[in-house]
Structure 1
């Protein structure tokens, strides 16, 4: 019988309060970006209502993905043992907040809103992050790397389906894509273990459900 993984130390009350604050800010407060928005120098293009609706649906999916990322990294950070792993998760989460800000503002510009299902995505992703951290740091980092790879592929597909004239949304997605691949590479350098194919497949299936529902709701 394989030995059970050693459980991480329970977080302090102060840390739990801080993590609860992170959740509230992710779901209920406007996100703030330290970097300039990637589309800040680009003028709004003329688009049909159908194109605007489609672009807004894609950006709503991306926004929900960033909400999930915040929850995942929060859960993983709570249960990570290695300080380097915790720092990598913290840095990734910081950049995901910027992604939240970019997609949030782009949704407003397109006359739309975030997904109504974001609280549910957050809760499920937080639970998955905690579980990944409990299993062990190399699997925790592997989960981070696989998540970022799948998100990167997803963003790449958006670049092919966005309305051609929507340069503002395209600039946001391109920078997000660059950042996500950087997170995956960093996780691999820190010793991430490749996830078993069934686990990666389950992650992809779960992502498809989230994207399909968030596009509409």
Structure 2
């Protein structure tokens, strides 16, 4: 059956075969967001391992502290909603640190380009989730909205700290964005 909403003329279809149930969709959201925040903490830990005694350290610590609060909140949601975390945690533990340390070894600007690229993907990711979640998930939407604002702040900090001056900026940010999108896709499913 097609239901046309009074707000627009676009047809609205009900749930189709193969669509996730609302519970499955919620589980994926919490699982992938937890994995992403875990990965973000590891990226900053890698960057701090290299840049922890430089002028960038305070900025990196600030962003890492916010990511740690995000991770902790999603850990609470995993437990409260009885959602299993991604099975890829050990991969993200190593990959996140390696990405952070590797980009930091290329210089502060490359570390900032990494942050900018990741946060651009997360901004889109969180925005899509906010559009997907219904009014029955108002508290979760508020949490995601707050975290999205902080991720946008991180992106803006990275830009102001010279992300676009990184060597191979376009190649680096394209690779990080592609890897981030792949990590989102995998973590939501595995």
Kept after mapping to 1: 8 A contact 2:117/2:177: no
- Identify the residue that residue 42 of structure 2 maps to in structure 1: 71
Which stretches of structure 1, 4 residues or longer, exceed 6 Å deviation after superposition?
none
What is the TM-score normalised by the length of structure 2? 0.80
Question: Please, which of 160, 165, 175 is the counterpart of residue 202 of structure 1?
Answer: 175
Pairing of 1:75-114 with structure 2 (within 5 A): 75-80=46-51, 83-114=54-85
Q: For residue 186 of structure 1, give the secondary structure of its aligned residue in structure 2.
A: helix
Cα distance in 1, alignment partners of residues 52 and 64 from structure 2: 17
Q: 1:137-196: per-residue Cα shift (whole Å, max 9, x none)?
A: 122222222222221121111111224421122111101101111111122223332563
Pairing of 1:44-193 with structure 2 (within 5 A): 50-80=21-51, 83-193=54-164
Kept after mapping to 2: 8 A contact 1:55/1:163: no
Assess, with a 3 A threshold, how the Cα gap between structure 1 residues 97 and 129 changes in structure 2: closer, same or farther: same
Kept after mapping to 1: 8 A contact 2:116/2:163: yes
Kept after mapping to 2: 8 A contact 1:55/1:169: no
Cα distance in 1, alignment partners of residues 46 and 90 from structure 2: 15
What is the TM-score normalised by the length of structure 1? 0.71
In angstroms, what is the RMSD of aligned CA positions?
A: 1.9
Q: For residue 83 of structure 1, give the secondary structure of its aligned residue in structure 2.
A: coil
Assess, with a 3 A threshold, how the Cα gap between structure 1 residues 209 and 170 changes in structure 2: closer, same or farther: same
Kept after mapping to 1: 8 A contact 2:44/2:100: yes
Gap runs ≥5 in structure 1:
1-48
Aligned-residue offset at 1:110: 2.1
Cα distance in 2, alignment partners of residues 84 and 193 from structure 1: 18
